[in-house]
Structure 1
Amino acid sequence: MRIGDVSDRSGVSVRMLRHYDSIGLLSPTGRTSAGYRDYSPADLHRLLDIEALRTLGLSLAETRHALDDPAFDAPAVLDRLREEDPDDEVGVDGIPVGAVTDPESVSATADDLRSLSDAAARRAESLQEELDTATRAGAVVRLEGRRRELARSVSVRDRLSAALQAAREETPDSDLDRVVDERRAAVQDAEEACTAAEEKAGDVDVDDLAALADAAAVRVRRLRERAVATGNALSEASGKLSQHGGVAEDLAETRTTRQRAEREARRVERQAAAAHLLHTTVQQALTAARERYEAPFRGTFEKLARTLYGAPVDFEFDADLTVARRSFQGVSLDTAQLSGGAREQLSVLTRLAVADLVGGGDAVPVFIDDALGFSDRGRIGRMNLVLDALGRDHQIIVLTCDVARFEGIAGAEFVPMEQVRAGA
């Protein structure tokens, strides 16, 4: 199973699964040929055990000890947990009971609430099955954890069901279904356009075209040099002919040399014309290929830029797809004329756009080192929105000495360097 499938089945986020792998608490049994994590049913079972122990309040170290050490004293841990939580007030996954308010205060769409309700129901059923298994096996810690989590899951499910009903009264399912159908139609149109573009592009390799263009340019230069040398030889032969007009033997030899030089000149000219045609053709193909690759990059880049600037903004790109000019609110400036903060923001947007295209729907790690140091607070806030949106699909790692720059990222997890060095 891929990491996304395990996350869907268990309710554990992809980010937490990667964290478990990094600390050695839950490492996948294998890897796919592409290098992706491949979890086995035994790995999924261990994950459920981990979540059950964590629900009971065990730390990550205690959880690993409980699963890997046969001498682990489960009754003693249960007694300690009962003393720490005598009233059983800890909710599902650490959420206090009562944290879910009345339906009017729930800030979520009907689809979100329906998904949460269904997930809670599936989780409750899964926990009930595991509870029965644990009871038969006599696993004391797992039994206690499943009972407590089952009760809380049912409570959360009921509250979410009420909130879902309230959301349905405000926005009927028919309206949502209509919006979903429209989005599916748009996605289908985009997929068809993408397929047509790929068929049109064929197997064109931009690097190969560039190499052919360079080779053709060198060939043209050399042929032109040979044409000049041949012309010089022709002129020299003509001069000799004029000087020795009275000598029949020299005249015949000179004429022969001239004829050979003329033939060589014509041959070189034909080769030069052919090389020039090849160079022109390769350059045209290279330009067409670049335009096909530039379109998806430009679309992704400008989409991120609209979030950053809060309004439409246009860009001009160089041949290597670096930003050459920005047009915003009626003012057009070359990149060199922008402030250091603006150039830094465009560099980050370029990196994020490339990562999103390279990923092709899969998560891609992106490293950003101490960025936004020259940006104002408003731009930092909007850049946080960009990083938060991309972080839902990719693993974005930011190294910074000023955590306050990135506090606006809702889904961010801050890890001090001391903890990284300690291997926690």
Structure 2
Amino acid sequence: MRIGSLADAAGTTPRTVRHYHRLGLLSEPRRLSNGYREYTIDDVVRLMRIRWLAECGMPLGAIAAVLDGKATDEPDVVGDLRALLAGIETEQTALAHKHSRLSALLDDAVERRALTALPRDVAATFGSLLDAADERDRPALIRERDLLEVMAISGRVPAAFFETMSAALGDHDLRRKYLVLLRRFGALEGRSVAESEHDIDALADELVSVLDVESFAQAPESAALGSDSTGLLDIEDIVPDAAQRAVVLRTTTRLLDGAHPAGTSQ
């Protein structure tokens, strides 16, 4: 049997067969007087076993140990198999998550909604706010929406926070208050932290009163938005203005302090 016939029988290619020869997985067969390799049914069996184990995901180095008659409970083989299974389970979890997100995106696309990482209720609420907003409020609302989307994509914010945002913005009185706070937040731009200390502190307190401390109880303290970085972005990148950044830091710190009082653990 020539190498092409052997490869066809095992559903592979002559190049792969030669690769297995180089790795020592498949022994070189005897050569005929004309120089051609002559394979036998034993080579077919071994090659098909190699292909079967490789398609199961077993590393080629582990395949050699299994096929050469070493015990299959050998620590390296068992470790390889466990690692492969753990990797597949991780991939399955990631794929299920991607499937869920893509399904949601498909629903939004079919319904002609904006494609965004924000929860649907929050995105819809901001859409309504922007449709009804005065021109003076639109830039602040757009920036707020975009910042919330960054937070959603980072995965560092509990879902309950966005539920709270949606509920707050869905309440007429709270929505009006929130818009006023956004205007005050925008008015801080360009001012120094020192000269705005009173306004920064007051604004942080009022934002805490609008948001829900309990929604932050689901976030580990290590994931605090009030820390100096959020994922791969520094807080300076997200909120470049120093006075506005001070508001964000103080607000999130107070929310987290309320959710995780000193001396408590998750």
Task: Give the TM-score, by structure 2 length.
Answer: 0.30
Name which structure has the greater RCO, CA cutoff 8 Å, separation 6+: 2
Highest CA radius of gyration, 1 or 2? 1
